[in-house]
Amino acid sequence: MTEPRTLPLYQIDAFAAQPFSGNPAAVCPLDRWLPDPLMQQIAAENNLAETAFFVADGEDYHLRWFTPQVEVPLCGHATLASAFVIFEYLRPELHAVGFRTASGRLDVSRESDSGMLAMRLPARESVPFADDTGQLVAALGREPQLLLRGDYDMAVFGDADEVQAVIPDMTALAKWERGVIITAPAPRGERHYDVISRFFVPAKGVPEDAVTGSAHCQIVPYWCARLGRADLKAFQASSRGGFLHCSYDGGAHVMQRGYCIPYLEGIIQI
């Protein structure tokens, strides 16, 4: 009988203010790529929103992300978690790391003053669109003030209470391959965040994501323009919850900052 191959596996809570918050990502460093079906099986076995795999590529790393069902072109929280693994376990002498991905080069650096990791992701524009069939509004169960389309569809509500009250029809939302963001401004006088959001992508095996960096590539440019600000603090109101410290200067990239908390270090056998 052939001896099983062993691989390191880390589980990191990204954008987490405390243990058991933020978004958990599995991170699997590799010395060479595994077959795609095997990486998909590992991601399904982990059963987290994303499992990240990376391989050294010169001074950078080639990074890929898998949900339990499919490979995705961009994942912010698993990128942050991958950088944390490199900084804390693999290359502690580094203060910045570059990833080559399906969405271009992504850079993550350590901030010595705050302890956060700062990640540069591509900014995503969104434009108004009409839900002519009414299917999206029906799936959300509430009428938003505005619907926008970018990489994801985004429903803008008038206040944070509406966002938290949405109980979506996941079977209906599974028809939206691009995923759906719902968002609103923070309540007046709120000190901990400026905007609130939730994110649903049941078509990719993630009914409601805990904290979504890729969604904030679209959320942040919209709210920075609407609020007339270059910096804002975003709260994703999932059951776990998570905070992102974001900035956008109108250019091609959004900066997202957050904390990572390690949960698990182990070995998998394949």
214-238 residue pLDDT tens: 999 999 999 999 999 999 999 999 9
Complete domains list, the chain, with CATH: 6-122+257-269 (3.10.310.10), 127-251 (3.10.310.10)
In angstroms, the CA 197 to CA 186 distance is 10
Which of the residues are catalytic? 50
Is 264:10 a contact under the CB 8 Å cutoff? Answer: yes
- In this prediction, residues 63-90 reach a mean pLDDT of 97
In angstroms, the CA 233 to CA 192 distance is 7
In angstroms, the CA 14 to CA 187 distance is 25
Residue type, 156: V
Q: How confident is the model at residue 47 (pLDDT cuts 50, 70, 90)?
A: very high
Residue type, 216: H
In angstroms, the CA 245 to CA 123 distance is 15
Q: Please tell me the pTM assigned to this model.
A: 0.93
Is 240:210 a contact under the CB 8 Å cutoff? Answer: yes
Segments in 59-168 forming alpha helices (H): 76-85, 135-140, 160-165
Q: How far apart, in Å, are the Cα atoms of 110 and each of 97, 100, 114, 195? A: 9, 18, 9, 25
Q: What is the CA radius of gyration of the chain?
A: 18
- Each residue's pLDDT tens digit, 106-136: 999 999 888 899 999 999 999 999 998 999 9
Average pLDDT in the chain: 95
